[in-house]
Amino acid sequence: MTGFLAIFRKEMANFFVSPIAYSVITIFLLISGFFFWANLSVMSLISLQAANDPMISQRINLTDVVVRPLTQNMSIVLLFLIPLLTMRLFSEEKKTGAIELLMTYPISDLSAVLGKFFAALAVLIVMLSGTISYPIILWRLGEFDVGVFLSGYLGLLMMGAAFAGLGIFVSIMTENQIVSAAISFGLALMFWIISWASSFAGQTWGVILKQLSILERLESFHKGILSLSDLSFFLFFTVFFIFLCLRSLESLRWRG
């Protein structure tokens, strides 16, 4: 793929030269750190109560009280932050006219899209890497299911990749970064809560809506279960929007 590394390096430089990456990473670490502290506080309170009630002590553990709620809360935070990472990837170039230069370079459309996609994904990995202290702290406090922790983070990465593909597609469609972020968040939120309508959508449509729900698909990851259908869903979701990005760039070439 001609030009992939060039686009990737360019976007990574743009992320960290501007305050975008620093702001998003800082917000993510502050909020996730608060959730981690809050969950540990709840665990401490329950442990004190369990000292007087052996039945409670048998039912509580770090996995259920800290790890699962933490990854669930972090997924909600990423729902808000991923659109901020993708909002400028193409819309800024469309606004400044630089996208016309991009199309004249000896770079394939696939390289351009994947270079930007993996740059956004790299920032997401940096964000998640900033929470590496959490399992270290948990190991010092007691036993927890490492498998649940790792599967939860894999779910966050898969969800982030899916929303990054969605956000890049929206970014191609508009010249305004704020509009791009708003539409990306709105669409991501729709896929997040779409299963809420399943109870009154009828049996057939109810099943379809649940299958399309990001929230439903993440549930198995939070439980420590790696489901092939859920992994395939996120992969297909990401590839589908990357495909739409390529078709949109092709359309721009024809109109240009």
Ramachandran assignment for 143, one of left (phi > 0), alpha (psi -120 to 50 degrees), beta (any other): beta
Question: What is d(CA 67, CA 113) in angstroms, rounded to the nearest whole number?
Answer: 34
Residues 169/84, Cβ–Cβ less than 8 Å:
no
Question: What is d(CA 225, CA 104) in angstroms, rounded to the nearest whole number?
Answer: 46
**For residue 1, is pLDDT > 70?**
no
**Residue environment code for 221-238, b if the CB has 16+ CB neighbours within 10 A, otherwise e:** bbbbeeeeebbebbeebb
Q: What is the pLDDT of residues 209-247, one digit of tens each?
A: 888 889 888 989 988 888 899 999 999 999 999 999 988
**For residue 256, is pLDDT > 70?**
no
Residues 175/96, Cβ–Cβ less than 8 Å:
no
Please report, for the chain, the start and end positions of each structural domain, with discontinuous segments joined by +: 4-255
Q: What is the largest CA-CA distance in the chain?
A: 74
Average pLDDT of 76-81? 94
Query: By percentage, how much of the chain surpasses pLDDT 70?
Result: 89
Token pair recorded at residue 183: 């539409």
Only one residue has tokens 């305050």, namely 19
pLDDT at 248: 85
Question: What is d(CA 95, CA 175) in angstroms, rounded to the nearest whole number?
Answer: 5
pLDDT at 142: 78
- Report residue 161's pLDDT band, with 50, 70 and 90 as the boundaries: very high
Question: What is d(CA 218, CA 75) in angstroms, rounded to the nearest whole number?
Answer: 9
Radius of gyration of the chain from its Cα atoms, rounded to whole angstroms: 21
Residue among 56, 94, 108, 119 nearest 250 (CA): 108
pTM: 0.89
Mean pLDDT estimate for the chain? 86
Average pLDDT of 57-66? 75
**For residue 16, is pLDDT > 80?**
yes
Question: What is d(CA 150, CA 128) in angstroms, rounded to the nearest whole number?
Answer: 11
Average pLDDT of 18-44? 91
**For residue 201, is pLDDT > 90?**
no
Identify which has the larger pLDDT, 122 or 16: 122
φ, ψ dihedrals at 134, nearest 5°:
-60, -50
HSE on the CB side for 90, CA within 13 Å? 27
Average pLDDT of 98-114? 76
**Cα dihedral 36→39→43→45 (10° resolution):** 120
